[in-house]
């Protein structure tokens, strides 16, 4: 978007930092799902290169 280069190592480091920040909320959500008596799930279509795929959430 800004015309800047970024290395794969740079991307890896950004993803690692974000994963570390997200971990507490991930664990909270996981705990609530494990303790839930009912879990809702859904799927949505995703078009990848002209082919339909499904993403389950």
Query: What pLDDT digit, counting tens, does each position of 2-54 carry?
Result: 888 999 999 999 999 999 999 999 999 999 999 999 988 888 888 999 999 98
Output the furthest CA–CA distance in the chain (Å, rounded): 49
CA distances from 24 to 27, 28, 40 (A): 5, 6, 22
C-beta of residue 54 within 8 angstroms of C-beta of residue 44:
yes
- Domain coordinates of the chain in residue numbers? 8-56
């Amino acid at each position: 978007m800004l015309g800047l280069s970024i290395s794969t190592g740079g991307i890896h480091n950004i993803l690692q930092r974000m994963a570390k920040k997200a971990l507490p909320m991930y664990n909270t959500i996981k705990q609530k799902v494990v303790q839930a008596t009912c879990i809702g799930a859904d799927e949505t279509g995703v078009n990848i290169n002209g082919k339909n795929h499904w993403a389950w959430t």
